[in-house]
Amino acid sequence: MKKNKKFYITTAIDYVNSLPHIGTAYEKIGADVLARWYRLEGYDVHFQMGNDEHSANVQKAAATAALSPKVYCDGMREKFEAVWKKLDISYDGFIQTSDPHHAQGVQKLFKTILDKGDIYKGHYEGWYCESCEAYYTEKDLTDGLCPHHKVKPTWLAEDNFFFTLSRYRERLQEHIKAHPEFIQPEIRRNEILALLEEGLQDVSVSRGEGTWGIPLPNDPTHVVYVWFDALINYMTAIGYSWNETPFKRWWPANLHVIGKDITRFHGVIWPAMLMSAGLPLPQTVFGHGFISFKGEKMSKSLGNVVTPLDVVDTYGADALRYYLLREGSFGRDGDFTWDNFISRYNGDLANGLGNIVSRTVGMVTRFLSGTVGPPNEKKPLFAEAILDLPSRLRSELAYDKGDIGFHNALAAIWEACAAIDRAINDAKPWEMAKRSETKAIGELLAHVVEGLRIVTIVLGPFLPQTAPKIWKALGLEALGTFEKQMLSSCDAWGSIDRAITIPPVTPLFPRIEKRGEA
């Protein structure tokens, strides 16, 4: 991979009528791993997030709090960013759709599409779900209810401006078939192709007077429909309409990471908008699965929300990150249960990763007086499994070739740790010590530390708080800070070229004896 090649990744921006839940965090954690991985690969990365504020629900929440919508949204930004900070989400930019430069960009794109002849005024009558801010036909509903929020939508009858989405059906079909990487995973792409096969209707892109939003450039009595407004954030955040230099640098996006329920907006409406405006399309839209709580999709209206802070404040951010990414593939639905979380925590983190680090430090302290030399040239048997990690992870984290295998990538890292552990058990350094084979012990543990050096580097994108702790615990700061390590240093065995002093270590992941205790 070429150094300084760009990687622009975005997540969906979030409604601010309530705080993030674990399902929301799942998306941000997955995107964060990819952003960190591409930085590790030497890419120039821009990771973009933000808040979606021009919705009726936000307007209602602000009114309930006796605040203006803008004041309410600014306060919610602080709360959202506090959650993302606790989860160690390494975004480079954070946009609010109430930002002036966003409004400027929305009006510019709207006018561009209007001037193209792709926006007209008409009358709309039909179902509208205020919870997801989406229009629905009868066939979209499930037993007359919104398929996502399980509430009866509102019947709307109003004069709106419409986007001629129907004009772009064939162009969208051609693009998706010519670029299968455009919508991933395959199950999402097939859903969109089936939707296109049925035909497209023009979509409303405005709401009437009195709605909180961005005024239309051609009719200030209307505001831009929240979804049309929100999608444009991916460009306004990087300079569209206000700074062409970063916009030209980053656009088109390499990857939009979104929930599967909004694939239609990102896989149909958004590319059609860009086609109309004569702008390039993003490379890939990835629709991830949902995280449910004991089989039920989490939502505020259903009253089954588990917030990230329910977990992080007690067990740490990395424990939650590991659990969510290890349980299953990113493109499929997953489940959160406290029993499974504790089982993963104790089995994989405390007894697995935490144990191999503590064990290594303990043996170096006990048998080598806390200092281990550089490994010799004879590679151990487990070296092959370790050196194979970068290519295995690169394959699993490829976002444009199918599902993203965070779970497989983590399994590969844990398999590598298990290979190191087996080598220790087979060599039995405690018995070697009885025979005064200090040199042999030193050679073994030097290779163990070298293996863990590589493991720690590739683990960094997944567990960004734990990896630096392991680096320090193994005395690897003698080679430089963890933050400066690059994936290229994992290509060869034997990068430890000096003796390393290893300090005593406290357990990385104390076992959970019962829920609420760590």
With a CB cutoff of 8 Å and minimum separation 6, the contacts of 321 are 29, 33, 87, 88, 462, 463
Domain count across the chain:
1
For helices 406-427 and 438-459, angle between their N-to-C axes, nearest 10 degrees: 170
Contact 339, 326 (CB under 8 A): no
pLDDT at 292: 81
pLDDT at 463: 98
Print the SS3 string covering 6-30: EEEEEECCEECCCCCCHHHHHHHHH
List, as own/partner pairs, every contact residues 313-316 make where C-beta atoms lie below 8 angstroms and the sequence separation is at least 24, other chains included. Answer: 313/86, 314/516, 314/518, 315/341, 315/345, 315/512, 315/518, 316/465, 316/518
Structure tokens at 80: 């959202």
β-strand partners of 224: 206
pLDDT at 123: 82
Parallel, antiparallel, or unpaired for β 134-136 and 183-184?
Answer: unpaired
Residue found by looking up tokens 């209707």 in the block: 201
Parallel, antiparallel, or unpaired for β 296-297 and 284-288?
Answer: unpaired
Residue 345 lies in a domain: yes
Structure tokens at 303: 């009253």
Residue 412 lies in a domain: yes
- Torsion angle defined by CA atoms of residues 267, 256, 83 and 224, in that order, rounded to the nearest 10 degrees: -50
Contact 411, 328 (CB under 8 A): no
For helices 317-326 and 22-40, angle between their N-to-C axes, nearest 10 degrees: 90
CA nearest to 397, candidates 26, 14, 25, 41: 41
Residue 67 lies in a domain: no
pLDDT at 252: 98
User: Any idea what the CATH number is for the domain that residue 384 is in?
Assistant: 1.10.730.10
Residue 92 lies in a domain: no
Q: Where are the alpha helices (DSSP H) in 327-465?
A: 338-344, 355-368, 383-387, 389-396, 406-427, 429-434, 438-459
Residue 436 lies in a domain: yes
Question: Which run of H or of E encompasses 95?
Answer: strand 93-96
Structural domain range at position 485: 337-501
Positions in the chain short of pLDDT 50:
1-3, 302, 516-518
Residue 391 lies in a domain: yes
β-strand partners of 198: none
Query: In terms of C-beta density within 10 A (0-12 exposed, 13-18 middle, 19 or more buried), how is residue 221 classed?
Result: exposed
Structure tokens at 234: 């991916």
Distance, in Å, from the CA atom of 296 to the CA atom of 276, rounded to the nearest integer, reads: 39
Residue 447 lies in a domain: yes
CA nearest to 384, candidates 410, 435, 423: 423
Residue 421 lies in a domain: yes
What is the residue-wise DSSP string for 148-178? TT-SPPEEEEEEEEEE-GGGGHHHHHHHHHH
Residue found by looking up tokens 């009358």 in the block: 123
Distance, in Å, from the CA atom of 167 to the CA atom of 272, rounded to the nearest integer, reads: 9
Structure tokens at 23: 């399902």
